[in-house]
Amino acid sequence: MNRSARRRLTAAVLTVVTVTAGASACSSGSGDTSTKAAGGGTYTIWDPYPQFNKGSAWAKLLDDCGSKAGVKIKRTAFDTSDLTNKALLAAQQDNSADVLIVDNPVVSTLAEAGVLTTTDDNKLDTSTVDSNLLGAGQLGGKTYGTPIGANTLALYYNKEVLKDSGVDIASVKDWKSLTAALAKVDKAGKKGITFSAIGTEEGSFQFLPWFWGSGAQLPDVDSTESVSALSLWKNWLDKGYAPNSVINNTQTTSWQEFATGDYAFAENGTWQLANAEKAGFDYGVIPVPGVDGGNAAAPTGGEFVTVPVQGETGRYATSQKLVTCLTSADNLLATDTTLSYVAPINEVQDKQIAANAKLEPWVHAVRAAKGRTSDDLGTNYPKISEQLWKAVQSALSGSASPEDALGTAQSAVK
């Protein structure tokens, strides 16, 4: 690792690492990566799935991919936030895992710090991956890994509430028709829409479909289009179409409101599908509409499979085989079903719909989605996001107009 890369890495460690002592991880070993022979031997994989133990389908898949590559797999599973810290510290000690699976917004942080190889370096083929999903792992014209799957946001709706309110879901195609539907629901004495506008990344995550759906682009957070998106939310609160609780709602508490059966709509993610089946009422899902129709781009969640920089570059060939195995079409179908993800390639997405028709709106939502760090925002995204959620909080609480709140945010971003 050259001197400038090491300086970047040290800066990243100082920025990201908060508490590392006593951090918990699920592992069959210590996570040590000292076995560095290029051929055969043991290869280490770190992932953010501590919920999957050694007997799980996921762990068995890792071992199977290792067997096909002619190596043994030593897996360590960390909590998502702890994994970033561990990856940075390991790189600083020249002791990185061979394969690292991380939350997609983290890829740019690790890439900028010099932790990850590019697909040019490791010869990983990403030609079949949907370009909008691959964007979350790109920085400066280079690609750092491949997505293992994606989730995103859409609108759940309660069929009974809409029927009682005289709303045909087929009529909801843009912001105007959605607001008209909420007006009908309100007039019928029902509750309209719930979402999360909390002052954290969750709030920005939920606002972005409306922000992008207006035609706005980051980092221009105070554009006319952006103001229209925040004004939409503020108008819903003022008219009572959305509850004031959204200001403090997490995505979990927002879902709990929808699960009461009182609301017509809820903005939430793929990860609530199992809970939706248990809700006790008929529901449907539509992608978040754009201001003038079509599907708004919603932000993607999900992980990237990456290959960290190694002193022994001969290891990359086997690491590439492991990543290719893990993200092959055959393995993605089972893996993404387990993770409640939409696959990152069309071939597998079509198979997912064939197996479960309820995934179809989610596939359409993912195909329209984009990474939060896309457009070469990289590590600038967290700074922009913080100002965005602060603006949303200010506007919805009434302490500033949408225009003033976003103007303040833009000044801070600059």
The average pLDDT across 196-216 equals 97
Residue 148: half-sphere exposure toward Cβ, Cα within 13 Å: 27
In this prediction, residue 40 has a pLDDT band, given cuts at 50, 70 and 90, of confident
Domains of the chain: 3-150+301-368 (3.40.190.10), 153-298+377-413 (3.40.190.10)
The model's confidence at residue 112, banded by pLDDT at 50, 70 and 90, is very high
Whether the per-residue pLDDT at 28 is higher than 70: the answer is no
Residue type present at position 156: Y
Are β-strands 42-47 and 99-103 bridged in parallel, bridged antiparallel, or unpaired?
parallel
pLDDT in tens, 155-174: 999 999 999 999 999 999 99
Q: What is the mean pLDDT of the chain?
A: 91
Q: Encode pLDDT of 355-366 as tens digits.
A: 999 999 999 999
Contact 309, 117 (CB under 8 A): yes
**Residue 124 · residue 240 · CB < 8 Å:** no
Structure confidence at residue 25 (pLDDT): 36
pLDDT of residue 29: 37
Per-residue pLDDT tens digits for 356-414 = 999 999 999 999 999 999 999 999 999 999 999 999 999 999 999 999 999 999 999 98
From residue 137, alpha-carbon distances to 101, 124, 169, 383 in Å are 12, 13, 35, 18
CA 317 to chain CA centroid, Å, is 29
For residue 43, which of 25, 67, 7 has the smallest C-alpha distance?
67
Q: How high is the pLDDT of residue 27? A: 37
